[in-house]
Structure 1
């Protein structure tokens, strides 16, 4: 694990808030030269600290049907590789968006997207459950997202009630 400079950490925080910020804007915000910012970004990209620049989409505002599920998976670790080999087999499926090693009652948390409930159910029964080391799965369908990556999706209404004091 590489220790990052204070400049690099500050750049990461600002890019996490808004990945569209240019090196010129970041330099102005941080009070440093643009070349220093660009060098730090290039190094972090080369070291895979910065892996991707992404857009957070509120899919409920778009007319495209999509189902997201979180699947708790209990597995038997493989000899020599532990959880790595199974996690790799799972994350290579195109339906899988994220895989996390967890502590607690289950081993892996798998985020899956599909066009509908049946597609996700078929993935679990036809692809995930038959993997030899998978002991059990528990699927949770996401009904509504309120907040993702620090972004609140729904506009909050101000409380319009009158304040009553004793």
Structure 2
């Protein structure tokens, strides 16, 4: 059992878990803000982490007072050459929001693409003087994708509104 797992099994139960999570999130926030400030010197940066009530979905929202380039997913493969219906990693656009979407299982050419296999891991909205990025865990299928898009737009609205 790891030290962290041992820490969580103590007699104080959930209070220990909450305290450990709060301490960890403080470290994550400081490291995230520092990394973005190194990437964009002089830009104001904000970070917040959120989870749903069941702790099945997590989202880290990062706001940077700078315009970023649009999303890319590295080399863009030819899915047909690989015998696939769609690339396993792609950028999808939803209005002003771009999202990095992965297929959790390859879809062979000639097979219908199942949107339930989409895992949306990050969305970004950028414009003059502002970028909002939302990194998500547990955002599956079309419904999860739309949730992450809505969170990105909500983050944008909270900074610009």
Normalising to structure 2: TM-score of the pair? Answer: 0.24
Q: Which has the higher contact order (CA 8 A, sep 6+)?
A: 1
Whichever structure has more strand as a proportion of its residues is 2
Larger radius of gyration: 1
